[in-house]
Structure 1
């Protein structure tokens, strides 16, 4: 579900399909997907799949320097954590 949401939003935003990704990248993303931090530490802890719809939408509304909006970027560094803070702030 998360991959489908991401790739649909990518195509809508970029105007072309997301480039293919390697099996090793899919495996890494799937391993990281439930957690914000590699060591599974707080804040927030785990991310439920239904939350990704909001995080992905926020991600594509964010203007980054030198970003191709590849799914690997979304699952790198603190991108998801920062979008989670934005989503959390929107609910207060």
Structure 2
């Protein structure tokens, strides 16, 4: 297995990672691995299609149709033939 070294993390980021690791009951290294796994594997499996995301978000409402609204032009189109 490969190793990585991440240098020059700011203090706030280290503090947040430590707190998250403590909350989860993991070591700092295990927490960093879990974050990378979630971001790189689980998020990759989710669709990046915006329409699919919207459909998924509102799917619990069941099937419904949005009525088509008739639209009239806002103004008369110009005539360039004159």
TM-score (norm 1): 0.29
Q: Which has the larger radius of gyration?
A: 2
TM-score (norm 2): 0.31
Bigger relative contact order, structure 1 or 2 (CA pairs below 8 A, ≥6 apart): 1
Q: Which has the higher helix share?
A: 1
